[in-house]
Amino acid sequence: MTSPTHPFSSVLIANRGEIALRLVRACRELGLKSVVAAVGSEKDALPAREADAIAVLESPKSYLDPKALLEAAKKTKAGAIHPGYGFLSENADFAEAVISAGLTWIGPPPAAMRALGNKLAGRAVAEKASVPVLPGAKLGKDPAKAAKEVGFPLLVKAADGGGGRGQRMVEKPSQLTEAIESARREAGASFASEEVFLERFLPAPRHVEFQILGDPKGKVVHLHERECSVQRRRQKLIEESPSPALTPELRERMGAAAVRLAEAAGYRSLGTVEFLVDGKDFYFLEVNARLQVEHPVTEAVLGLDLAQWQIRMAMGEPFPFSQAQIQPRGHAIEARLCAEDPDHDFLPSGGRILALDLPRIPGLRWETFLEEGREVASDYDSLLGKAVAWAEDRAGAIRRLDQALAGSVLLGLHQNLGFLRFVLGRPEFSSGKYDTGLVEERILAAWVSRNRDLPPEAKALIAEAKSRPIASGAGSGRRIPDPWQDLNGWKP
């Protein structure tokens, strides 16, 4: 079943937070009406206020309820649904239900989602397309035998979902049973599927992904790579493009492999092929069949609005550029701003934003839904937004991003601004010679041992903000404008 590619005039955005705001603005620039699905507590938040209409959901769980979202689209007369990322964005059954309801699904075809959304199925497609994969195995009736075939150390991995959830590292046979049970529990809670499998563990790889694009006419291209090795618990913190690890020859081989895999799956729309890189070798990791959190990094170096192109392709518009015409310019780095406490094992945080000041710098783009006076709930993922810096070279992009983070003020809840600056300032990062173990194996120990005392001026600022009366309700404080205005982005 494929999505009908017919014009539509309004889009239901089945998501929240910064990606909902991003899509509202993309629709506006395309001359489309936007409808934001929002729970009661967020119906006056910035994404809902900027949208043309609101579809009020009963509870946070409604974002995972296909019937509720389809009913919202029907009531608001939306002609298409954009799922953003997270929630139901990679749910092929939901995509199929949207199409069956006569609406346009803004995303990959359900068949391609099924072929690539499950990691085991994706491995099979990769092997068929001659894309290298790590040794792996299904558990079967004898997990110990499967583990012996794969070899130690290994990973127990959830077959569905992403974001590092449902993964456990196993160094020796005695750890296998507990790791499988633990991974299954987390996978079931996160993805409604307890299916797990085994895969060889690489001790010090790079994590590099390639943005792919398949247009309605069947043309598939890659939009170059993003380096995603700065991670904590397999959750990405900082992404950049181009990758400091890739030679031109390796970049060409990996890009060609990503395109082959997408073509083998009949892929359309935007997606990401993720790889592990070990020296001159690379291995297929998984496919994220959706728009990625870190897509602004690619937008910055290519001058393409990916959010808009995803919508335009859903309307049947072909992508006009050939592979040879897609040439990156400069260097971009993104840092994820999260409501977490780095001093207490990154525990999620919530609370009212007492003070907010995110500096506007040429070549710097903020993607966030934050406002002064807004209550940040802990019902959802801790992502508050992203800062994306572009410069002619990597050193310039690092300096620009650090300048933006250094000048940022966000009071009222725990957040990771200081930790992000700490990572950017470490020689292990600035050298570009890092791997996925950078944060947990090298940086965290240095972070814990640093002097945690706040300077007197910071303490005074916090005290002043707490004493300041804050108006309740929406629009009570400063807000972030359209991110393209701040980036000085160029568009072909």
Q: What is the DSSP string of 93-124?
A: HHHHHHHHTTPEE-SS-HHHHHHHHSHHHHHH
Is 118 within the bounds of a domain?
no
pLDDT value for 449? 85
For the cut 60, the answer to whether the pLDDT of residue 374 exceeds it is yes
Is the same domain home to 217 and 363? yes
Is 40 within the bounds of a domain?
yes
The Cα-based distances of 81 to 97, 249, 281, 380 in angstroms read 11, 39, 39, 21
For the cut 80, the answer to whether the pLDDT of residue 487 exceeds it is no
pLDDT value for 473? 46
For the cut 50, the answer to whether the pLDDT of residue 11 exceeds it is yes
- Output the furthest CA–CA distance in the chain (Å, rounded): 64
Is the same domain home to 163 and 218? no
Is the same domain home to 93 and 53? yes
Tokens representing 455? 């300077």
Q: How far apart are CA 361 and CA 400, in angstroms?
A: 8
pLDDT value for 460? 73
Mean pLDDT of 71-77: 97
Is 385 within the bounds of a domain?
yes
How many domains does the structure of the chain reveal? Answer: 3
pLDDT value for 485? 42
Is the same domain home to 371 and 230? yes
| CATH number of the domain to which 182 belongs | 3.30.1490.20
Domain that holds residue 154: 135-200
Is the same domain home to 24 and 165? no
Is the same domain home to 222 and 192? no
Is the same domain home to 319 and 244? yes
| CATH number of the domain to which 46 belongs | 3.40.50.20
Is 128 within the bounds of a domain?
no
Mean pLDDT of 321-330: 98
Is 442 within the bounds of a domain?
yes
Is the same domain home to 261 and 400? yes
Is the same domain home to 162 and 302? no
Q: How far apart are CA 209 and CA 211, in angstroms?
A: 7
| CATH number of the domain to which 440 belongs | 3.30.470.20
Is 466 within the bounds of a domain?
no
Is 117 within the bounds of a domain?
no
Tokens representing 3? 């999505």
For the cut 60, the answer to whether the pLDDT of residue 481 exceeds it is no
Q: How far apart are CA 362 and CA 403, in angstroms?
A: 11
Q: pLDDT by residue (tens digit) across 99-155?
A: 999 999 999 999 999 999 889 999 999 999 999 999 999 998 899 999 999 999 999
Distance between terminal CA atoms of the chain?
33
Q: pLDDT by residue (tens digit) across 218-261?
A: 999 999 999 999 999 889 999 999 999 999 999 999 999 999 99
Is the same domain home to 286 and 258? yes
pLDDT value for 2? 44
Q: How far apart are CA 147 and CA 142, in angstroms?
A: 9
Is the same domain home to 62 and 43? yes
For the cut 80, the answer to whether the pLDDT of residue 477 exceeds it is no
pLDDT value for 489? 41
pLDDT-based confidence at residue 466 (cuts at 50, 70, 90): low
Is the same domain home to 223 and 180? no
pLDDT value for 352? 94
pLDDT-based confidence at residue 476 (cuts at 50, 70, 90): very low
For the cut 60, the answer to whether the pLDDT of residue 484 exceeds it is no
Is 72 within the bounds of a domain?
yes
Pairing of strands 154-158, 196-200: antiparallel
Q: pLDDT by residue (tens digit) across 276-322?
A: 999 999 999 999 999 999 999 999 999 999 999 999 999 999 999 99
